[in-house]
Amino acid sequence: MAKFSLYSEESNRSPLSRLWRNFKANHLALVGLWMFIGLTLLAMTAPLLAPYGIDQQHSDALLIPPSWHDDGDVHFILGTDDLGRDVLSRLMNGATYTFGLSIVAALVTTVLGVVLGTLAGINRGFKSSILNHLLDITLAIPSLLLAIIIIAILGPGLLNTVWAIILALLPQHIHSIRNLVVDELNKDYIGAYRLDGASRTHILFRGVFPNIYEHVVVIFTLALSTAILDIAALGFLKLGAQPPTTEWGAMLAENLGLIYLAPWTVGLPGALLFLSVLATNLVGDGLRKALQARKAT
């Protein structure tokens, strides 16, 4: 970089590109991002890519180990389960359920959180106090427990799980977005804007939102990692997705009986879960660090 440049180029870059620059510097975060993109693509296209159908039973090929094993078969790269179903195809399709549905749940939560959080942020007085009290109560109850309560009412099932997780994550997000909005509203430039005669909508859309959306993305990644863990945990507890749905948690629970005979049917779904949560957390962490770094410069 030129030492004697007259104009500092960097400071003229847009905040977004500075953010990207900071983010890029963190290799782990970048790896996480690639994994994240890969999983997202897989979740969208899994039924097309998968070599076999999820329920296709090969009765002549039960419990075949992965292909690198001596007894493996190249036709079933990750082996088959006890009904002769291709593990790879099931895992790929699982991405749609576990990862895809988690993204949907996290998106819905974030959108609702932004709407309700903003409403909570711009209101003051009695209404806000009641809302905060209610949030206090639900905040005290962890999301998985709340999801279990909601499942108890709605009954087990994958769709119910998604609803339950959205409802369970919502209070935390309303709360953090409200805090973001309130913090932003208290800043001087908003005060100046208000004095200029800007309307409430104006303040929100021109003043507040452009300044908090990056933080909302961080909140989204948090929601996503919680959603993945919760969907999988509920599936594992047999309260969420029911077999033969290929949700990873449910697959893990279903194959638990094969743990000695075919450990790969238990290990692989868990490993994928771990990787997807890790990817999400890496991206979230990287983003948060990049935001901090940008603030510092």
Looking at the Cβ atoms of 155 and 197, the one nearer to other proteins is 155
Looking at the Cβ atoms of 141 and 198, the one nearer to other proteins is 141
250's tokens: 């449910």
The residue length of the chain stands at 297
Q: Which residues pair with 86 in a beta bridge?
A: 80
Looking at the Cβ atoms of 107 and 237, the one nearer to other proteins is 237
| CA dist., res. 2 & res. 286, Å (int) | 28
Looking at the Cβ atoms of 154 and 198, the one nearer to other proteins is 154
**Residue among 22, 30, 85, 19 at smallest CA distance from 245:** 85
- Smallest distance from other proteins to CB 62, Å: 6
Question: What is the dihedral sign for C-alpha 244, 249, 255, 257?
Answer: negative
- Smallest distance from other proteins to CB 181, Å: 14
246's tokens: 């290929």
Question: At residue 285, what is the residue type?
Answer: D
- Smallest distance from other proteins to CB 248, Å: 9
- Smallest distance from other proteins to CB 140, Å: 5
- Exposure class string for 110-138: b at 16+ Cβ within 10 A, else e: bebbbebbbbbbbeeeeebeebeeebeeb
Whether the Cβ atoms of residue 273 and residue 91 lie closer than 8 Å to each other: no
| CA dist., res. 135 & res. 200, Å (int) | 24
Looking at the Cβ atoms of 96 and 172, the one nearer to other proteins is 172
Give the Å distances, CA to CA, from 258 to 88, 115, 247, 254, 263: 17, 46, 17, 9, 7
- Smallest distance from other proteins to CB 173, Å: 14
Looking at the Cβ atoms of 194 and 238, the one nearer to other proteins is 238
- Smallest distance from other proteins to CB 49, Å: 22
Chain residues in the site for other proteins (CB under 8 A): 28, 55, 57, 59, 62, 82-84, 129, 132-137, 139-145, 148-149, 151-153, 155-156, 175, 225, 229, 232-233, 236-239, 242-244, 249, 252, 256-261, 263, 266, 270-271, 273-274, 277-278, 280-282, 285
Per-residue DSSP letter, 73: B
- Smallest distance from other proteins to CB 198, Å: 27
Looking at the Cβ atoms of 72 and 84, the one nearer to other proteins is 84
Give the Å distances, CA to CA, from 259 to 41, 81, 255: 30, 11, 7
